[in-house]
Amino acid sequence: MPVLSIITINYNNLTGLQRTMESVLAQQFQDYEFIIIDGNSVDGSKDYIAQHAGKLAYWKSEKDNGVYSAMNKGLLQAKGEYLLFLNSGDYFCDNMVLSKVFSNPLKEDIVYGNIIWDTNGNQAEGIFPATLSFEYFTNQSLPHQGTFIRSQLFKTVGLYDEEYPIIADWAFFLQAIYKFNYSYKHLDLPVSVCSRDGMSCDPANWDAIVAGRKKFIQKNFTAFYLDHEQHLAIKSELQKNRHELETLKSSMPFRIYFKLKRILSN
């Protein structure tokens, strides 16, 4: 059994697929299998995959029902102890990334690093927290391109829920950590470079993402959701008070202003 299964999904993105495959195949670490799921592309991707079939543990090109449908197909074929979803267009930061990640055997169920976000050629590192609170997940997630997930978790938590076509990986992490109490660890190193043009980064999807997260939390974490709503109301009131304090700054003694500001900052 390989230590790692790298799963790449692709649809009509030959250039991105080539970059991803080159990045994977260049890794110094070799204890992995490589799986590609293609959505019946018509841009030459299928032929390119077939040409490199000898370097793949499994590949399939057929119509699917979306991103998570394809990801589920890949993980059902995976035999690795850990899984990494590196979709077409994403690529490792360098050819030593996996050697660094697996320099010592992983113990935790979810191990995640940082991401280099690429916005039209402008790159910036996205650094993720070492401690993951429930509050963090109400409006953030972990990067699937930089997260190594123990394959056993999908047998307990289940496959990606295709009822949530944009946030299924977020929903999976939320359940794995807060319902099943699986362990996690942050590695302070960049794992992969990812474009900002993914569906979860598209402003056109933000309303759907917020609505989907609200629906999922209400359904699966009702008590947490009530606390979250109360927390948001308190934050909103604090922000309002801070704004009002700033407008009154010039009309009050500095001593009182700084005392109030300190209170509102706690």
pTM: 0.85
Is pLDDT above 70 for 163? yes
Q: Could you give the C-alpha distances from 150 to 3, 111, 176, 180, in angstroms and in order?
A: 10, 9, 11, 13
Tell me what percent of the residues of the chain surpass a pLDDT of 70.
Answer: 81
Write out pLDDT tens, residues 118-148. Answer: 988 889 999 999 999 988 888 889 999 999 9
Strands 147-150 and 110-119: antiparallel
Give alpha helix (H) positions in the chain: 14-25, 45-51, 67-77, 97-101, 134-137, 153-156, 168-178, 206-220, 222-248, 254-265
Please choose, from the candidates 134, 24, 137, 129, the residue with its C-alpha nearest in 3D space to the C-alpha of residue 85: 24
Q: Bridge partners of 123?
A: 118
**DSSP state string for 237-259:** HHHHHHHHHHHHGGGS-HHHHHH
In angstroms, rounded to a whole number, what is the distance separating the alpha carbons of residues 181 and 168?
18
Q: Using CA atoms, how far apart are residues 23 and 16, in angstroms rounded to an integer?
A: 11
For 207-213, which contacts have Cβ atoms below 8 Å and span 24 or more sequence positions?
A: 208/166, 209/166, 209/167, 212/164, 212/166, 212/167, 213/138, 213/139, 213/167, 213/170
Rounded-to-10 torsion of CA 221, 223, 226, 227: -100
pLDDT tens-digit profile of 57-66?
999 999 999 9
Counting runs of H as helices and runs of E as strands, what totals does the chain give?
10, 9
Local confidence band at 265 (pLDDT 50, 70, 90 cut-offs):
low
Number of neighbours of residue 121 by Cβ within 10 angstroms: 5
Distances, alpha carbon 176 to alpha carbons 72, 118, 147, in Å: 16, 28, 13
CB atoms within 10 A of CB 22: 12
- CA distances for 143 relative to 13, 59, 152, angstroms: 20, 23, 19
Q: Which CATH class is domain 4-220?
A: alpha beta
Q: Say which range, 25-39, 154-168, 217-231, has the weakest mean pLDDT.
A: 217-231
Average pLDDT over residues 212-236: 75
How far apart, in whole angstroms, are the C-alpha atoms of residue 31 and residue 18?
A: 21
- Report which residue type is found at 253: P
SS3 (DSSP) at 203: helix
Residue 91 DSSP SS3:
strand
Domain locations in the chain?
A: 4-220, 223-265
